[in-house]
Amino acid sequence: MQWARAALLWLAAWAGAWAGAAAQEPAFVPGVASLLGALRPAKAVVRAVRAAAPELFVNLTQRLSSWGYPLETHTVRTEDGYLLTVHRIPHGRAGANASAPAPAAGRPPVLLQHGIISCSEYWVLGGPDNAPALLLADQGYDVWLNNVRGNHYSRKHENLRRKDKEFWMFSWHEIGMYDIPAVIDYILNATQQEKLFYLSHSMGNTLFYVAMSLRPEYNAKIRLQVALAPAVYLNDTPSVPARLAIANSEYIKNLVETFPTYEILPKTESAIALNYFLCSDKAFFNKLCALLFSWIVGAVDLNNTTNLCLVLARSTSSTSALVPWHFAQISRSGEFTQMDLGRSRNMRSYGAPSPPAYPLHRVTAPAAIYVADGDFIVTAKGTERLSKILPNVVLHKVIREKFFNHMDFVTHPRVKELVMDHVLETMARF
Ligand SMILES: *[C@@H]1O[C@H](CO)[C@@H](O)[C@H](O)[C@H]1NC(C)=O
Ligand SMILES: *[C@@H]1O[C@H](CO)[C@@H](O)[C@H](O)[C@H]1NC(C)=O
Ligand SMILES: *[C@@H]1O[C@H](CO)[C@@H](O)[C@H](O)[C@H]1NC(C)=O
Ligand SMILES: *[C@@H]1O[C@H](CO)[C@@H](O)[C@H](O)[C@H]1NC(C)=O
Ligand SMILES: *[C@@H]1O[C@H](CO)[C@@H](O)[C@H](O)[C@H]1NC(C)=O
């Protein structure tokens, strides 16, 4: 366990560095965070990183326009007052199918839902002819990229501010109950369609099953769910850092309770700069970063870590600590349940001593499930169990590739050939 402890320390140092970067954000007040704030790089350092690696500071708008894709920004209000930013790529690259008139029935809308601590940008990082969002747009789909409450694009609320504790009182249960239905309704109204495709990675699927099981009338609005590495049954993750975090989640939660809010991992320029120093191809720690990442999500090709820093810098975004906390609970129990609030609060909230399981038999929308044997977070064993419970699974495909980890479903340099060609073929049948 010597190396496992070293891994935990390294993880703690990394989290500390990130919290340090967060300390310059106004939402953080003195405390643990400002102690770690000593680690934050000076402005001059951030400027130097900007000069050395400008691609790390290019945002979604700039990235898409440099490749010739259009981008729209929409605001969607949830029932509980959050204002979400939803990005839209209404058609493909100029020159491809862009100028062709939309089919009479309209371009079929597809909602892309990112996973934990992530954002809309994740779906385009793989670039033209590879990234899922761009392949779909070039194939004639109307592509919508959601940003869940609390990430850096969706931090507004009608009555609450980001520094209010109340703003961060949500786990993936609330995201699934309120964000997903609001975004589906918005897209169907805007496109005048009756159904959409829902393509999601990891937690994006968790949200889908929350929404479809507790608000089953939404199943009728789904043409097909494409589930990339659905995070539902997580009790057999081989990831050592994940297991350590799960085993110590009570302590971590107690630590987070001392923060002014539950916000974790805000995306700041300092966080991006730290990322560069730890993980870029030129960094001294590069291989260590790749190795740590391999322990968390599954093997990274140490011969080619070109993409690693970009993916970490651009795709990660803030969330509430209650989101991983809820995952830690279901990882320990091996059951897909609502949040465990403790015996007496469970009695008050659910009328039972333990939290209820989500009624997955009500998820009647067709689902195509993809999983990878190299994924350390979501295993084929877990998704096989899921596919026996969901009533309408149309396929369960295991990707077998030497270096293909949990993140690779979206950003692997050959994700088109390994996953998306099959996905596009499947979607064409619905
Ligand atoms: C990206 O940056 C540009 C220029 O600063 C800004 O106008 C644009 O709104 C940003 N895009 C997003 C998606 O934040
Ligand atoms: C245009 O869209 C069709 C399907 O709608 C696709 O088969 C074709 O490859 C697309 N053309 C280009 C240049 O992307
Ligand atoms: C539906 O879309 C139309 C325009 O496309 C818009 O005017 C209207 O406000 C939308 N309705 C809702 C409930 O979002
Ligand atoms: C990395 O590259 C070297 C030399 O190009 C090769 O010998 C080695 O097998 C590669 N390692 C992996 C894990 O692919
Ligand atoms: C390394 O990966 C990048 C993208 O991640 C890819 O463009 C490049 O071709 C790869 N290099 C090699 C030698 O495989």
User: Which pLDDT score is estimated for 10?
Assistant: 55
Atom of ligand 2 lying closest to residue 138 CA: 14
Hey, what long-range contacts does 212-216 have (CB within 8 A, 24 or more apart)? 212/362, 212/363, 212/364, 212/365, 213/358, 213/359, 213/360, 213/362, 213/363, 214/176, 214/177, 214/358, 214/359, 215/177, 215/181, 216/362, 216/363, 216/364
Tell me which of 84 and 302 has the higher pLDDT.
84
Cβ of 192 below 6 Å from ligand 3: no
Distance CA 127, CA 66 (A): 11
Phi-psi region of 19 (alpha: psi -120 to 50; beta: other; left: phi over 0): alpha
**Ligand 3 pocket, mutate which of 189, 192, 194 (most atoms under 8 A from CB):** 189
Which amino acid is residue 238, in one-letter code? P
Q: Kindly report, residue by residue over 246-305, the tens digit of the pLDDT.
A: 888 888 888 888 888 888 888 888 888 888 888 998 888 889 999 988 999 999 998 888
Task: List, chain by chain if needed, residues with CB within 6 Å of any ligand 1 atom.
Answer: 59-62
Higher pLDDT, 98 or 288: 288
Residue ID of nearest Cα to ligand 1 atom 11: 61
Greater model confidence, 415 or 282? 415
Would you state the pLDDT for residue 18? 54
- Atom 10 of ligand 1, residue of closest alpha carbon: 61
Ligand 1 atom nearest residue 59's Cα: 1
Question: Regarding predicted confidence, which is higher, 41 or 50?
Answer: 50
Active site residue 317: no
Residue whose CA is at the smallest distance from ligand 2 atom 10:
139
| Cα 144 to middle of ligand 3, angstroms | 16
Q: Of 16-30, 41-55, 96-110, which one has max mean pLDDT?
A: 41-55
pLDDT of 122 reads: 96
Is the distance from CB of 110 to CB of 87 less than 8 angstroms?
no
Q: Is 90 exceeded by the pLDDT of residue 17?
A: no
Q: Is the pLDDT of residue 9 over 80?
A: no
Centre of ligand 1 to C-alpha 63, Å, is 10
What are the distances in angstroms from CA 281 to CA 288, 308, 310, 369? Answer: 11, 8, 10, 33
**Model pLDDT for residues 217-233, shown as the tens digit of each residue:** 999 999 999 999 999 99
* Predicted pLDDT of residue 12: 59
Active site residue 202: yes
Q: Rounded to two decimals, what is the model's pTM?
A: 0.89
- Angle subtended at Cα 138 by Cα 134 and Cα 142, rounded to the nearest 5 degrees: 80
Radius of gyration of the chain (CA): 21
pLDDT digits (tens, 9 = 90+) for 349-369: 999 999 999 999 999 999 999
Residues in CB range of 280: below 8 A, 6 or more apart: 53, 286, 309
Residue partners of 94: CB distance under 8 A and separation at least 6: 68
CB 409 within 8 A of CB 419: yes
**CA-to-CA distance for 33 and 271, rounded, in angstroms?**
14
Catalytic entry in 114, 201, 406, 412: 406
Among 32-41, 255-264, 324-333, the range scoring the smallest mean pLDDT is 32-41
Secondary element (H or E) of residue 316: none
Which 3-state string (H, E, C) describes 343-392? HHHHHHHHCCCCCCECCHHHCCCCEEEEEECCCCCCCHHHHHHHHHHCCC
* Beta carbon of 188 within 6 Å of any ligand 3 atom: no
Nearest CA to ligand 1 atom 7: 61
Strands of 191-270, DSSP E: 196-201, 222-228, 263-264
Q: How far is the CA of 135 from the centre of ligand 5 (A)?
A: 19
Ligand 2 pocket check for 138: Cβ under 6 Å: yes
Beta strands in 234-339 (DSSP E): 263-264, 319-320
Q: Contact 86/146 with Cβ under 8 angstroms?
A: yes
In the predicted structure, residue 28 carries a pLDDT above the cut 50: no
pLDDT of 24 = 43
Q: What are 87's strand-pairing partners?
A: 73, 145
Q: For the chain, what's the residue count?
A: 430
Output 83 or 277, whichever has higher pLDDT.
Answer: 83
pLDDT at 283: 85
Atom nearest to 153 CA in ligand 1: 14
Q: Is 349 tagged catalytic? A: no
Q: Which of 375, 387, 396, 412 is catalytic?
A: 375
Alpha carbons 329 and 98: distance in angstroms, whole number: 46
Instruction: Give the nearest ligand 5 atom to 304 CA.
Output: 1
Give nearest CA residue, ligand 3 atom 1.
189
Name the residue at shortest CA distance from atom 11 of ligand 3.
Answer: 189
Tokens 């090709």 correspond to 301
pLDDT given for residue 268 in this prediction: 82
Average pLDDT, the chain: 89
**Confidence (pLDDT) at 34:** 40
pLDDT digits (tens, 9 = 90+) for 99-151: 555 666 789 999 999 999 999 999 999 999 999 999 999 998 999 999 999 99
Q: Which ligand is nearest to the CA of 184?
A: 3
Best mutation site among 56, 57, 58, 61 for ligand 1 pocket (most ligand atoms within 8 Å of CB):
61
